[in-house]
Every structure is written in structure tokens, then in C-alpha cells.
């Protein structure tokens, strides 16, 4: 009997290292592969990120009839590292709306376009999916303090979910993070620690503090359950499309965790035999922060300092690079780069055509879809999904160059006529 099967006989799931392939019981390892972690350095993406593997054969035997419907009814518990629904926050996370859009700027689209609006989560971002699972796991294991590094969304997400669970959140943020996101964190009652420098500096400091003070860490990729939380969007999309898969999914990419979560969700369904193939998943990055896309075919990772208006995906050292790369290569994913100007224009077009106001990181995915459309890469009749991962209210400053608020007028009809040129 091999080691993985032996572990699964004793537990619900085990971990497998993305890089060396070694397997570990969740009782023995919490974050990274102990072997691969030893060679890590701050200048490169970490190796040793763990993938959570379930007993897929047992799940198939348990739900032999109407497998996916039964898993859905059980709130995906069989595919999550949590045993009871009572461990989750009472806030409504996930099951966000999927809108079908037929026209843009008055022109009928030749393909089918769907927008998954995760700004409808409790703290207005996709990151709630990860915080929801991490917090539930902590509650089941009697852990009360959770730390994280964030440019804003992950921090406000963890702070909000912890507030609802009576847990303590400690958030390390780069000092230049958008004020709206920092305000959210403080309003939820979390302890905020602004750090001079980049997100990467905040990330490394949060891990050092976690080791010194014994906190539980939610950091993206570092904690394997962040990927487990984010994969739930794939289950929802499959359900939203009446148990069918789309042709393409456009995902904004920074650290590589969201796209890995999307892949992982579909991979779980593939291993269960629920689907026969994984849809084409497109990694969309800003030209100013392309450290995943640029290194996909490189023999050695080289980081380039990031500068983009999409702060949520501005990353010098993508923490989940190796897992994201492996998923993209294995399942024939694609990638595309868009400029900051394309991101801002996409944000405006999205808002004015659909009534959905997304932050620049989310608009990045929409910009990628628009670029595919301009390049005639979206075949007629195909199903295409754009993940909108955060609300535009998170970062109002970024769109100021695209709006014009007129000066105040006198409270007179003539002034109205003059302003509107009637």
C-alpha cells in the first residue's frame, strides 16, 4: 500500500507537495513542504506549496447516484478541510450571481458572455471564499488568532470574517495600500500593522511574526486552505451552467492563487468523474505586473518590479507561481497581458454596460476578455466567463482620470438647461 492511500485511510484528506510530490498528513504539516521549504529565499517564489488531496473514490462510493447534486446539497463539505457547517461564519459567502450579457456598447456579441460577480461577497471581494474556509478550520481546531499579509482585500476579508466568528485578526499591509481597504480592516476591529515597502515585505514579516508568536497564518498559498476556499467558485460555475463547463474563464492574476483555485475546483470534479475535461482558463495580468506570465516558459524565474494601477494583483514575487504554472501547463491554460489604460477603459465599459462597478484587478479580467474579442479568439456561440473579483468602491482613486464631476450650479432651471445644453 502506498503512503498516500495509507494516509487517506486515517484522514479525510492529505497534502501533496507541488514540487517534489511528497505526501504529508495534515496532522504533521501545516503550511509548506518541510523539505522544499529549506531551499526557499525571499528573492524567488517559494517552493513546497501544498495541494490538498481528498479520497475521491470514497466520495464516489458515498454518492453513487447524482454525485454532484449530492455534493452540492452537502455544501461541498466532502471536498473541504472542514467537518461541520457550524464551523463556518454566519455571513453569506459564495453563491454569488452569474449574469449573462448579450450586448456591449449596443453591439450584439457573437459569443455567450457571463460575469461572475464576487463583489457580492460580505466584504465585497473574492477573497472571502478563502477567509471563510481558513476561519472555519481555525474554529474547529480551537485557534483564535489569525494573521495575514495583504494589499487590502485579503486583509479586509479576514478581518470581516473573523469579526463574525469572534476571532482575532492581525493584518500586515504595505503602507501605500488604498485607504478604503485599510479603513475596512480597521472598522472590522482587526489589528492593522502597516509595513514600509511592498506587499512582499509585509508577507515575509507576517510569517516571521507567525513563527515567533504562534499565530495561525492565512497567507495566500502559504496556507493551502486558501486555494481550497477559492476553488468553490468552480463548483458554483458548473452548477450555474446547469452542470456544464464553459469554454473559457478569464481570471485576474497576481500571486497565482485565484487561478490555481479555479483549476483545483475543476480538477476535483475531473477526479470524481463529474466532468471529462477542464475548461480553458486564461491568466490575465497587467503589463506592469507580469511576473507569472513572463516566466511561464522560462528556465529560471526572474522577478521584475511591479507598477500597475491594479494594486490587488501587483506582485513582485508571486507566492503561488509554481502551482499556477503547473496547472496552466498541465491543463493547457492560456495567458494574456493588458495595459493599465486597457484596464481603466474596461472598468468604464463594464460599469456603463452592465451596472457592475469593479476595482481595477477585477476589470483586468474583463480587459483580457475584450482583447481576446478584438483578436477574434472567441468563437461564435462559445461560453465565456469573466471573474469579477472585487468592488470598485475598494479603490475610488484609480478611476478619477476617467470621470468628470461638474461644478455645482445655482438651484435654477436655467442653470440646468445651460449645464445640459438644452
Q: Which three cell numbers stand for residue 249?
A: 474563464
Please, are residues 74 and 80 in contact by the beta-carbon 8 Å criterion? no
In this predicted model, what pLDDT tens digit does every residue of 213-224 receive, in sequence order?
Answer: 999 999 998 999
The Cα diameter of the chain in Å comes to 86
Beta sheet of 13-17, edge-to-edge order: 23-25, 13-17, 50-54
Please, are residues 195 and 171 in contact by the beta-carbon 8 Å criterion? no
For the domain bounded by 128-222, which CATH number is listed?
Answer: 3.40.50.1100
The residues near 329 (Cβ < 8 Å, ≥ 6 apart) are: 296
Q: From 3.40.50.1100, 3.20.20.70, 1.10.10.10, 3.30.530.20, which CATH number describes the 98-122+231-402 domain?
A: 3.40.50.1100
- The helix/strand/coil state of 405 is coil
pLDDT of residue 311: 85
Q: Which three cell numbers stand for residue 331?
A: 491543463
Where are the domains positioned within the chain? 3-62, 98-122+231-402, 128-222
pLDDT in tens, the chain (422 residues): 455 555 555 689 999 999 999 999 999 999 999 999 998 988 899 999 999 999 999 999 888 778 999 889 889 999 999 999 999 999 999 999 999 999 999 999 999 999 999 999 999 999 999 999 999 999 999 999 999 998 778 899 999 999 999 999 999 998 887 777 788 899 999 999 999 988 888 989 999 999 999 999 999 989 999 999 999 999 999 999 999 999 999 999 999 999 999 999 999 999 999 999 999 999 999 999 999 999 999 989 999 999 999 988 988 999 999 999 999 999 999 999 999 999 999 999 999 999 999 999 999 999 999 999 999 999 999 999 999 999 988 778 788 888 888 888 889 899 999 999 88
pTM confidence score: 0.94
pLDDT of residue 406: 84
The residues near 91 (Cβ < 8 Å, ≥ 6 apart) are: 122, 128, 132, 160, 161, 164
DSSP 313: G
Residues in the chain, how many?
A: 422
Same fold, 98-122+231-402 and 128-222: yes
Write the CA distances from 128 to 89, 137, 142, 273, 409, integer angstroms. Answer: 11, 14, 21, 28, 42
Please, are residues 389 and 252 in contact by the beta-carbon 8 Å criterion? yes
- A 10 A CB-CB count for 142 gives 6
Q: What is the DSSP string of 15-27?
A: EEETTT--EEETT
**Phi and psi (nearest 5°) for 300?**
-140, 130
By C-alpha distance, which of 202, 295, 205, 230 is closest to 80? 230
Pairing of strands 107-117, 98-104: antiparallel
CA distance 302 to 291: 8
Please, are residues 128 and 93 in contact by the beta-carbon 8 Å criterion? yes
pLDDT of residue 1: 45
In this predicted model, what pLDDT tens digit does every residue of 226-279 receive, in sequence order?
Answer: 999 999 999 999 999 999 999 999 999 999 999 999 999 999 999 999 999 999
Amino acid at each position: 500500500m502506498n503512503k498516500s492511500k495509507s494516509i487517506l485511510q486515517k484522514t479525510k484528506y492529505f497534502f501533496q507537495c507541488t514540487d517534489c510530490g511528497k505526501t504529508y498528513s495534515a496532522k504533521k504539516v501545516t503550511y509548506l513542504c518541510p523539505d522544499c521549504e529549506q531551499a526557499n529565499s525571499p528573492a524567488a517564489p517559494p517552493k513546497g506549496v501544498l495541494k490538498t488531496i481528498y479520497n475521491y473514490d470514497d466520495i464516489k462510493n458515498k454518492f453513487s447516484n447524482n454525485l454532484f447534486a449530492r455534493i452540492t446539497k452537502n455544501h461541498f463539505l466532502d471536498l473541504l478541510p472542514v467537518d461541520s457547517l457550524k464551523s463556518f461564519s454566519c455571513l453569506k459567502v459564495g453563491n454569488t450571481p452569474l449574469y449573462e450579457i448579450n450586448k456591449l456598447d449596443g453591439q450584439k456579441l457573437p459569443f455567450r458572455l457571463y460575469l461572475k460577480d464576487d463583489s457580492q461577497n460580505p466584504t465585497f471581494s473574492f477573497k472571502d471564499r478563502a477567509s471563510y474556509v481558513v476561519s472555519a478550520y481555525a474554529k474547529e481546531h480551537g485557534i483564535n488568532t489569525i494573521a495575514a499579509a495583504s494589499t487590502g482585500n485579503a486583509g479586509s476579508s479576514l478581518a470581516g470574517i473573523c469579526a463574525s466568528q469572534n476571532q482575532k485578526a492581525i493584518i500586515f499591509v504595505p503602507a501605500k495600500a488604498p485607504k478604503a481597504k485599510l479603513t475596512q480592516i480597521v472598522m472590522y476591529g482587526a489589528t492593522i500593522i502597516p509595513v514600509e515597502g511592498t506587499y512582499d515585505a509585509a508577507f515575509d514579516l507576517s510569517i516571521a511574526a507567525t513563527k515567533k508568536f504562534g499565530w495561525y497564518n492565512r497567507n495566500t498559498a502559504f496556507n493551502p486552505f486558501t486555494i481550497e476556499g477559492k476553488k468553490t467558485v468552480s463548483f458554483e460555475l458548473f452548477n450555474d451552467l446547469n452542470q456544464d463547463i464553459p469554454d473559457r474563464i478569464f481570471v485576474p492574476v497576481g500571486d497565482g492563487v485565484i487561478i490555481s483555485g479555479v483549476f483545483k475546483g475543476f480538477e476535483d470534479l475531473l477526479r470524481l468523474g463529474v466532468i471529462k475535461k477542464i475548461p480553458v482558463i486564461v491568466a490575465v495580468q497587467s503589463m506592469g505586473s507580469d511576473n507569472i506570465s513572463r516566466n511561464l516558459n522560462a528556465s529560471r524565474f526572474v522577478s521584475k518590479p511591479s507598477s500597475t494601477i491594479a494594486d490587488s494583483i501587483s506582485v513582485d514575487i508571486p507566492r503561488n507561481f509554481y502551482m499556477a504554472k503547473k496547472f496552466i501547463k498541465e491543463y493547457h491554460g492560456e495567458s494574456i497581458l493588458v495595459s493599465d489604460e486597457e484596464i481603466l477603459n474596461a472598468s468604464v465599459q463594464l460599469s456603463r454596460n452592465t451596472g457592475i462597478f469593479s476595482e481595477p484587478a477585477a476589470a483586468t479580467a474583463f480587459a483580457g476578455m475584450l482583447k481576446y474579442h478584438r483578436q477574434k479568439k472567441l468563437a461564435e456561440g462559445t461560453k465565456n466567463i469573466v471573474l469579477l473579483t472585487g468592488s470598485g468602491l475598494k479603490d475610488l482613486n484609480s478611476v478619477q482620470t476617467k470621470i468628470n464631476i461638474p461644478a455645482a450650479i445655482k438651484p435654477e432651471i436655467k442653470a440646468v438647461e445651460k449645464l445640459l445644453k438644452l
